Amino acid sequence: MQGQLNLLLLCSGTYEMIILTMAFHEFLTWRISLAWFTLVSCLAIGGQFGINAELIRPTILGYFLAPIILNTIMASRLIKVNWVLMLPIVTFLNALKYLITGFTSQLNQWLLKTDWQNPLISLNSWPIFYINFALISGILLGFFIICTLGWLAHYLIIRSNTVTIFYRAALNRHDNALVLITCSGYVIAKIYVLKLGLMAQMYTAALTSIILGGLIFYLVNKNNVWLNDVRLLSDVAHYNEVLSDHNQQLHLFKHDYQNILLSMSQYIAQEDMSGLKRYFEQEVFPNEQLLNQTIAPDQLRYLRAPALSGLIYAKYQTAEHRHVKLEINIWQTLTLPQTDQIKVVRVLGNLLDNAIDAATQADQLVQLTITQARDNVMVTIANQLPNHTTIDLKQISRQHFTTKLGHTGNGLSSIARLVNKQLTVHYQVIGNTFQAQLRLKKSNN
Per-residue model confidence as pLDDT tens digits over 338-394:
777 778 888 888 889 888 988 888 889 999 999 887 778 899 999 988 777 777 666
Higher pLDDT, 60 or 87: 87
Question: What is the maximum alpha-carbon separation in the chain?
Answer: 117
* pLDDT of the residue at 314: 80
Give the number of residues written for the chain: 445
Q: Cα separation of 348 and 425, whole Å?
A: 10
In the beta sheet, which residues pair with residue 440? 377, 423
**When comparing pLDDT for 220 and 77, which is higher?**
77
Burial of 108 (0-12, 13-18, 19+ CB in 10 A): buried
Res. 397: pLDDT tops 50: yes
Distance between CA atoms of residues 60 and 65, nearest Å: 9
Q: Tens of pLDDT along 226-284?
A: 666 666 666 666 666 666 676 666 666 666 677 777 777 887 888 778 887 887 777 76
Domain edges within the chain: 2-230, 296-445
Q: At what angle do helices 30-52 and 15-23 cross, to 10 degrees?
A: 160
| Integer CA distances (angstroms), 93 to 5, 66, 118, 144, 370, in order | 19, 14, 38, 15, 50
DSSP strand pairing (433-440 vs 376-384) = antiparallel
Distance CA 158, CA 152 (A): 10
Q: What's this model's pTM, rounded to 2 decimal places?
A: 0.49
> What 3-state class would DSSP assign to 350?
helix
Q: What order do you get walking across the sheet with 423-430 strand by strand? A: 325-329, 365-373, 376-384, 433-440, 423-430
Chain mean pLDDT for the chain: 74
Please name the residues in contact with 300: beta carbons below 8 A apart, sequence gap of 6 or more.
309, 312, 313, 328, 330
Q: At what angle do helices 173-192 and 83-113 cross, to 10 degrees?
A: 20
Q: Is the pLDDT of residue 2 over 70?
A: no
Closest CA to 2 of 120, 94, 131, 92: 131
Which alpha helices (DSSP H) does 53-82 contain, by range? 57-79
User: H helices within 270-325, ranges in order?
Assistant: 273-279, 285-293, 295-298, 306-321
3-state secondary structure of 101: helix
- In CATH terms, 296-445 corresponds, of 3.40.640.10, 3.40.50.2300, 2.160.10.10, 3.30.565.10, to 3.30.565.10
